[in-house]
Amino acid sequence: MADELVAILRQENETLRERIRQLEALLLPDDVVVPAEWQMPNAERRIFAALTMRDIVTKDMLYEALYGDRLDLDKEPERNVVESHVSKLRKKLRPFGVVIISERFTGYSLMNRQKYLHTPPVAQMTPVARHG
């Protein structure tokens, strides 16, 4: 009986982890194509990917894109780290015609974002098994 319950809970846990992975991929895809000449480290790729997905991206959204999945941090990074990353990214991408706009009191947007849009494959959501 206990072994059966453990097996059911493990399966539900596995299903939920997969659903979370699928949702995260839709919110912040890893498949954003970044030209090699842009030389973007992972943090900048995450910011750029987030900017391609929405008209306006808040600082909190970018913070989550940068650190939301990090379990290895000894302490939480300062919130102003987002501004620092965006500033560096702006300078790096300006020569390639990529413009990041500050939306006062709101966040950031990517000028001509449609140019960078991609359509990730729609993940098939697996229904969670319900056991009574």
Beta bridge partners of 108: 57, 102
Per residue in 51-106, pLDDT tens? 988 889 999 888 888 877 665 656 667 778 899 999 999 999 999 999 999 988 88
Beta bridge partners of 100: 110
Are 83 and 59 contacting, i.e. CB atoms less than 8 angstroms apart?
yes
Q: What is the model's pTM?
A: 0.64
Are 44 and 85 contacting, i.e. CB atoms less than 8 angstroms apart?
yes
Per residue in 18-50, pLDDT tens? 877 776 666 556 667 778 888 888 888 889 988
